[in-house]
A = this chain, B = another copy of it.
Amino acid sequence: MIDFDEAYKKVLQHTFDLGMETVPLTESNGRVLAEDIKADRDFPPFNRSTKDGIALNYAAVEKGTVTFKVEGVLSAGMAQQTLSNGPNCYEIMTGAVVPNAADTVIMYEELTIINGTATISKKPKKGQNIHVKGNDEKLGAILLKKGKRVTAADIGVLASVGKAEVKVRRNPKICVISTGNELVEVSETPLPHQIRKSNTLSLAAALADENISATSLHLLDDQEIIENALEEALQHYDVLLLSGGVSKGKFDFIPDAMEALGVRKVFHKVWQRPGKPFWFGVQEELNTVVFSFPGNPVSTFANYHVYFLPWLTNTLGLPHAEHQVILDEPIQIDPPFVRFVQVTVHWEKASLHARLLKDGGSGDLTSLSKSAGFVLLRPKEEPYQKGELVTFIPTQAII
């Protein structure tokens, strides 16, 4: 039995470098960049018109010219032309390349074109309506840094510089394992003493939210079955997430099986509620870490969010964000357990507030659906007060 803070620290000490992999651009959303993304050319790559109108040389305007012979029409996607001295102009569309010898664009609203001659009605500013080559970024500039999680906006940047494939941090290969003879498949009708699996499905869905496609496995409470299956799983996966089988029961074979398979127990049992029987270990030769959560759904979900997600964040090299909420009601937390208390959250103006979930016992089937996350409360003498800032561990997207 160890302290929560010690357990948390130990979990984060057992992260490791999973290396990188190359994925198609369209699959890189949500992944973590394993390379700096550089501009492969200047941006914009040419002097680009930002308006529909005419392109001309300002020197002519300066000399008092107001009529310009239209040499042609330039649209986006046409190669660069060269403006002749006439004084001439080109009609030019937004996104088109400004012709050589032109340096100013005047929009249609400020001119008339009759019989191939444009007459301007307002004196332009030199250089107006041109997005100058290299103005945003120069060839070779770093646009996105290694270690950034790719967003939909980043996909546009990656596309712009031709990254049809992107180097990203490899995600851990994860096997989600349930144990227990009482569990049947979702599609089955359970006998009176049976229940359907749910933890592994919840965990797999939570992992999918992290862009990780996990494998699921169910093991009966049989020492040999468990040892054989775990032996294979330890070889094939970077992480095993187990639920159930870690309590004091006669059929809680996991801790012994792990020991037999060379998984070093880092700790078993933490001064926390829910999730006290949490077992954490590492198979150092195989570089496999094992999170063995208690079978209760709330315990599993709490430990997944409290321990596994920060482990994942660290492993992927992402910064860890600790969030806070304002407690809307008092709560007493007596020693010796750190408590993860389910809360709903709401915004008051721009501040995030939390209310304790009523009847959110660890056995309540739907409490995890009703709550937005947990507040992490260390025991202390005085009650936590209404208005107090506390650590918040979201279990779903808040904003």
Minimum CB distance partner of A183 in chain B: B77
Q: A192-B79, A368-B156 are in contact. Are A91 and B137 (CB under 8 A)?
A: no
List 6 A-B pairs, minimum CB-CB distance, nearest first. A77-B181, A153-B368, A77-B182, A156-B202, A152-B206, A93-B249
Q: A76-B180, A77-B182, A183-B77 are in contact. Are A396 and B153 (CB under 8 A)?
A: yes
Q: A93-B251, A153-B368, A364-B136 are in contact. Are A196 and B301 (CB under 8 A)?
A: no
Cβ contacts under 8 Å, A128 to chain B: none
| A250–B73 touching, CB < 8 Å | yes
Q: State which of B73, B77, B136 has its C-beta within 8 Å of the C-beta of A194.
A: B77
A29 within 8 A of B: yes
| B249–A180 touching, CB < 8 Å | no
Q: State which of B160, B202, B295, B398 has its C-beta within 8 Å of the C-beta of A198.
A: B160
| A369–B26 touching, CB < 8 Å | no
In the bound assembly, the distance between CA atoms of A244 and B351 in angstroms comes to 38
In the bound assembly, the distance between CA atoms of A397 and B281 in angstroms comes to 32
Q: Which of A229-237, A320-328, A378-386 touches B?
A: A320-328
Cβ contacts under 8 Å, A293 to chain B: none
| B250–A323 touching, CB < 8 Å | no
Cβ contacts under 8 Å, A153 to chain B: 202, 301, 368-369, 371, 395-396
A394 within 8 A of B: yes
In this complex, the member of A97, A202, A205, A347 whose beta carbon has the largest number of chain B beta carbons within 10 angstroms is A205
Main secondary structure of the interface of A (DSSP, over half): loop
Q: A193-B77, A326-B350 are in contact. Are A369 and B151 (CB under 8 A)?
A: yes
Cβ contacts under 8 Å, A88 to chain B: none
In the bound assembly, the distance between CA atoms of A353 and B352 in angstroms comes to 12
A332 within 8 A of B: no
| B295–A324 touching, CB < 8 Å | no
CB of A162 to closest CB in B, whole Å = 6
Q: State which of B152, B203, B204, B209 has its C-beta within 8 Å of the C-beta of A205.
A: B152
> For window 1-59 of chain A, which residues contact chain B by CB distance below 8 Å?
25-26, 29, 39, 41, 43-46, 50, 52
CB of A220 to closest CB in B, whole Å = 8
A115 within 8 A of B: no
A267 within 8 A of B: no
Binding site for B on A (CB under 8 A): 25-26, 29, 39, 41, 43-46, 50, 52, 73, 75-80, 91, 93-97, 108, 131, 135-137, 143-144, 148, 151-164, 180-183, 185-199, 201-206, 208-209, 221, 244, 247-252, 295, 297, 301, 321, 323-326, 347, 349-353, 363-366, 368-369, 371, 389, 392, 394-399
| A180–B95 touching, CB < 8 Å | yes
Minimum CB distance partner of A50 in chain B: B363
In the bound assembly, the distance between CA atoms of A205 and B194 in angstroms comes to 42
Q: State which of B108, B158, B324 has its C-beta within 8 Å of the C-beta of A347.
A: B324
In the bound assembly, the distance between CA atoms of A356 and B82 in angstroms comes to 40
| B195–A45 touching, CB < 8 Å | yes
CB of A368 to closest CB in B, whole Å = 4
| B326–A159 touching, CB < 8 Å | no
In the bound assembly, the distance between CA atoms of A47 and B39 in angstroms comes to 65
Minimum CB distance partner of A97 in chain B: B193
| B369–A198 touching, CB < 8 Å | no
| B25–A186 touching, CB < 8 Å | yes
Cβ contacts under 8 Å, A151 to chain B: 205, 369, 395-396
